[in-house]
Structure 1
Amino acid sequence: MLTGLNIAVIGGDARQLEVIRKLTELEAKLSLIGFDQLDHGFTGATKVKIEDVQFEEIDAIILPIPGTDKEGIIDTVFSNIEIKFSEDLLKRTPDHCVIYSGITNDYLNSLVENTNRKLIQLFKRDDVAIYNSIPTVEGTIMMVIQHTDITIHGSNIAVLGLGRVGMSVARTFAALGANVKVGARDTAHLARISEMGLTPFQLNDIEDHVSEIDVCINTIPHLVVTSSVISNMPAHTLIVDLASKPGGTDFRYAEKRGIKALLAPGLPGIVAPKTAGQIVANVLTQLLEEVKKNRKGFSS
């Protein structure tokens, strides 16, 4: 149980509703900021404005999966009020206050460094990333079906990257009957691709491996699908970029060439927000139990 723990949930989308539901069931006391248009009520959770929160009493802050933008603005679908996560705000929190976000950026990193607070990136955890790969793959299948006029079975697909998402994507599309080749740089990854019964290729040679593909699925958060790579693709090729913004594709050149390229980060929150929210909620529960143990002056 999280009884006695004061938590601020700031902004977010439908995934945060599962987090709120789980934490209120465990009797945490929640301050919901950026949820003024939310009709649903949760026992133990109070909708408040950010200026009315007593941050001096907050033990943990839960940000949306994307964290903040480069100026510290927090996105929320349940409010039209702009919310900024500032250094002055964070300085008011107790020393033991922990901030949770899916991912981070330079602004957020600077903020926690200047205030000597702890930031935990949930999406850097293997368990969260692996669980999230399931709705990501399902969403990718949906996008490929919607934006092509061929079956996945028998199609030629190139997957870029064999990380936690890339592995799930490659394996699933191969199971659906696609001819899957996977590009990677790490020799261990190339060996694993071969062991999986798929066709490996070195990413440095990507231009030589896209001339006959129907779909290119990128999972690498760096520019790998460059103009020269796109130039070698057939005109009907679909590019689905699953990497975090801004992705790893030259979208401007793809448009110029007439190739459909879709940036699709955050698919779990789009295609399966309930499941994606439950994944985050279950991991947060474990982490917040540690915060409760470490909180100074707490008596169970």
Structure 2
Amino acid sequence: MLTGLQIAVIGGDARQLEVIRKLAELDSKLSLIGFEQLDLVFSGVNKEKFNEVDFAEIDAIILPITGTNSEGQVELIFSNEEVILSEEILLKTPPYCTIFTGISNSYLDQLAKRTNRRLVKLFERDDVAIYNSIPTVEGTIMMAIQHTEFTIHNSRVAILGLGRVGMSVARAFHHLGAKVKVGARRTEHLARIAEMGLDSFQLSELENEVRDIDICINTIPHLIVNAAVIQKMPTHTLIIDLASKPGGTDFRYAEKRGIKALLAPSLPGIVAPKTAGQILGNVLAQLLEEDVLKRKEKTI
């Protein structure tokens, strides 16, 4: 149970609604900022304006998956209010106050460092990433079906990166009958690809490996599918970029060549927001109980 915890939930998409439901069930007290356009009825939950919140009483802050922009502004989908998370705001919170976000940036990293507040990046956790790979895979399959004129079965698919998402995507497309090859840099990843019964290649050979592919799925958050690589692809190739914004694809050049390239960094929130929200809610509940609540109790 989270009885005694005061949590500020600032913005977010449909996934955040499941987080709110879970934390409310565990008896925490929630201040919701940026949800004025929604009808939410939960015990212990109050919709508030950002400037009305008493941050001296806030034990944890939950940001949207995207965190803040480079100037500290938090995106609010269900409100027209402008919210900027600043040093002044965080210094009002108790020293043990923890900030939860999906991903971070230099602004948020430096803000947490300057205010000596703990910053938890949920999408860097193995459990969250692995659970999230399930709706990500389903969404990727959906996009591949919607945007091609051929079956996944027997198609030639190149997957770039064998991280937690790349491994799940590679396994799923292989089981659907695609001819899958996976590009990686690390020798242990190349060994794992071989163990999975898939073809492997070094990413340094990417230009040669895309000459005969039907679908290219990128999971690497750096510009790797560049103009030189896209130049070697057949014009019917579909690129699905699952990396965080801005992705790892030269979308301008892909459009110039007439190759369809789709950026899809938040598929869980699009194809299965309820499941994705439940994943986040369960992990947050555990972290809040095991860390924030215990640290608060030590100060009392």
Same fold per superposition (TM over 0.5): yes
The superposition leaves residues 172-231 of structure 1 with CA deviations (integer Å, 9 ceiling, x where unpaired) of 000000000000000110011011011000000001100010000000001110100000
- In 1, distance between residues paired with 2:214 and 2:170? 14
The superposition leaves residues 131-171 of structure 1 with CA deviations (integer Å, 9 ceiling, x where unpaired) of 00000000000001010000000100000000000000000
Q: How many residues align?
A: 299
Asked if 1:16 corresponds to 2:5, the answer is no
The superposition leaves residues 247-268 of structure 1 with CA deviations (integer Å, 9 ceiling, x where unpaired) of 0001111111110100000100
The AA in structure 2 aligned to 1:260 is K
The superposition leaves residues 21-77 of structure 1 with CA deviations (integer Å, 9 ceiling, x where unpaired) of 000100000000001101122211000000000000100000001101111111122
Whether the aligned pair in 2 keeps the contact of 1:224 and 1:249 (CA below 8 Å) is yes
Aligned to 2:69: 69
Secondary structure of 2:240's aligned partner: strand
The AA in structure 2 aligned to 1:195 is E
Whether the aligned pair in 2 keeps the contact of 1:137 and 1:168 (CA below 8 Å) is yes
Secondary structure of 1:295's aligned partner: helix
Aligned to 1:184: 184
The AA in structure 1 aligned to 2:217 is I
What is the 5 A alignment of 1:17-36?
17-36=17-36
Aligned to 2:151: 151
Whether the aligned pair in 2 keeps the contact of 1:55 and 1:93 (CA below 8 Å) is yes
Aligned to 1:238: 238
Secondary structure of 1:225's aligned partner: coil
**Moved beyond 4 Å, runs of 4+:** 296-299
- In 1, distance between residues paired with 2:188 and 2:135? 26
The AA in structure 1 aligned to 2:296 is R
The AA in structure 2 aligned to 1:288 is L
Instruction: Give percent identity, aligned residues only.
Output: 69
Superposition TM-score, scaled by structure 2 size: 0.98
What is the 5 A alignment of 1:268-279?
268-279=268-279
- In 1, distance between residues paired with 2:299 and 2:57? 12
Whether the aligned pair in 2 keeps the contact of 1:292 and 1:298 (CA below 8 Å) is no
Aligned to 2:130: 130
Aligned to 2:293: 292
- In 1, distance between residues paired with 2:295 and 2:96? 8
The AA in structure 1 aligned to 2:151 is T
Superposition TM-score, scaled by structure 1 size: 0.98
The superposition leaves residues 65-112 of structure 1 with CA deviations (integer Å, 9 ceiling, x where unpaired) of 110111111112211222111111111101010000011001101111
Ranges in structure 1 where 5+ consecutive residues have no aligned partner:
none
Residue 298 of structure 1 deviates from its aligned partner by 6.3
Asked if 1:6 corresponds to 2:10, the answer is no
- In 2, distance between residues paired with 1:82 and 1:275? 28
Asked if 1:219 corresponds to 2:219, the answer is yes
Residue 297 of structure 1 deviates from its aligned partner by 5.7
Asked if 1:140 corresponds to 2:140, the answer is yes
Aligned to 1:255: 255
Taking only aligned residues, the RMSD between alpha carbons, in angstroms, comes to 0.9
